[in-house]
C-alpha cells in the first residue's frame, strides 16, 4: 500500500524556534480524509480551493478552523515535527556555510527518523523558493541511501534507506493535509515562541492553540516527545551536541 507524507515548515523568520513537520498517512486513510475535507468545505459553502492556514485565522473563521482540525483527530492522523532552537543550532554550521543546506539536513532528519523501512513513500512538500534548484533531488538520494555506523561496541551496523518513490513541491491550496500541518505548526510555534504572551497577541490564535492543547489533554503545546512520539503528535525538540538552551 502507498504511504504519503505531506510536509511544510513554519516560523522560518527570526523566531527562536523553527519547525518542520508533516502528516504521515496510508493511501486508504488519505482518500477518506480528503473526501471528508471536501464535504466539510461544501457544507460551509466554501470552494474546494479554500486554504486553511495559520496566517488567515480570524474571529470569523475560528469555529470552522476548529472543526477542520477535528478531522485530523477523527482519523488519528500521525503528525511528526522537528523543532530547531536557533539559540542552540546554527543552520550555517556545515561545510558550505549554507543555511539552506542546513535547513534541508533537518528535513532529512525528520523524514528519515519517522519513516519505516520497506514502505513506499510519496512525499509532497509545500512549495518554497530555493537558491539551489537540486535540493529535492539531493534530499531523495540521501533518504534512499544506506548508512553505516559503528554501535557502542564498535561493530558497524547498516541503517537501510527509505523507499522514496517521489518527492516534489506542490501547491498547498490543493492538499488539505499540508494545511493540517500548517495549522498544527502555527499553533505549536505560537506557544514555543511565546507569542501567546505578547500583549497584543491575537485572541483567536490563542483560542485555537488552547483548543489543540485541550484535544491532547495538555496545558500548552510546549513539550518534547523526542523520537519516540506522543499519541499522534510527535514533537522532537532537536538537541545539538553542545548544551542546549532551555525553553
Cβ(177)–Cβ(33) under 8 Å? yes
Asked whether the predicted pLDDT for residue 247 surpasses 50, the reply is no
Residue 246: per-residue pLDDT: 38
Supply the range of the domain harboring residue 61. Answer: 3-237
Portion of the chain with pLDDT greater than 70, in percent: 93
More confident residue, 87 or 246: 87
According to the model, what pLDDT value does residue 84 have?
95
Dump pLDDT digits (tens) for 13-64.
889 999 999 999 999 999 999 999 999 999 998 888 889 999 999 999 999 9
Strand boundaries in the chain, DSSP class E: 3-10, 17-26, 78-85, 120-126, 147-150, 156-159, 163-170, 233-237
Domain-embedded: residue 9: yes
Q: Considering its fold, how many domains does the chain have in total?
A: 1
245 lies in a domain?
Answer: no
Whether residue 82 contacts residue 229, with contact meaning beta carbons closer than 8 Å, is answered with no
Contacts of 46 (CB under 8 A, 6+ apart): none
pLDDT tens-digit readout, 200-233:
999 999 999 999 999 999 999 999 987 655 568 9
Pick the closest to residue 4 from 57, 74, 78 (CA basis).
78
- Domain membership of residue 247 (yes or no) is no
For residue 160, give Cα distances in angstroms to 37, 111, 147, 216, 228.
35, 13, 7, 33, 19
What is the reported pTM? 0.91
pLDDT the model gives residue 239: 78
Average pLDDT over residues 91-109: 87
**244 pLDDT above the threshold of 80:** no
Residue 122 has pLDDT above 50, yes or no: yes
Judge whether 243 lies within some domain: no
With a cut of 50, say whether residue 245 has pLDDT above it.
no
Q: Does residue 13 belong to any structural domain of this protein?
A: yes
CATH number for the domain spanning 91: value is 3.30.420.10
Amino acid at each position: 500500500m502507498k504511504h504519503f507524507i505531506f510536509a511544510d515548515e513554519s516560523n522560518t523568520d527570526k523566531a527562536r524556534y523553527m519547525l518542520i513537520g508533516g502528516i504521515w498517512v496510508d493511501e486508504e486513510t488519505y482518500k477518506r480524509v480528503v473526501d471528508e475535507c471536501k464535504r466539510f468545505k461544501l457544507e460551509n459553502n466554501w470552494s474546494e480551493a479554500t486554504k486553511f492556514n495559520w496566517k488567515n485565522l480570524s474571529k470569523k473563521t475560528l469555529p470552522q478552523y476548529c472543526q477542520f482540525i477535528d478531522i485530523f483527530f477523527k482519523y488519528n492522523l500521525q503528525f511528526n515535527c522537528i523543532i530547531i532552537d536557533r539559540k542552540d543550532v546554527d543552520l550555517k554550521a556545515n561545510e558550505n556555510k549554507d543555511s539552506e543546506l542546513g535547513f534541508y539536513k533537518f528535513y532529512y532528519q525528520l523524514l528519515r527518523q519517522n519513516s519505516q523501512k520497506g514502505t513506499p513513500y510519496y512525499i509532497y512538500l509545500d512549495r518554497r523558493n530555493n537558491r539551489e534548484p537540486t535540493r529535492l533531488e539531493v534530499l531523495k538520494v540521501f533518504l534512499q541511501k544506506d548508512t553505516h555506523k559503528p554501535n557502542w561496541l564498535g561493530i558497524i551496523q547498516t541503517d537501510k534507506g527509505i523507499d522514496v518513490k517521489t518527492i516534489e513541491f506542490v501547491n498547498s491550496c490543493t492538499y488539505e493535509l499540508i494545511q493540517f500541518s500548517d495549522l498544527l505548526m502555527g499553533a505549536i510555534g505560537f506557544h514555543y515562541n511565546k507569542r501567546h504572551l505578547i500583549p497584543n497577541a491575537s485572541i483567536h490564535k490563542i483560542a485555537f492553540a488552547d483548543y489543540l492543547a485541550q484535544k491532547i489533554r495538555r496545558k500548552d503545546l510546549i513539550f518534547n516527545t523526542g523520537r519516540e512520539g506522543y499519541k499522534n503528535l510527535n514533537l522532537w525538540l532537536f538537541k545539538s551536541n553542545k548544551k542546549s538552551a532551555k525553553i
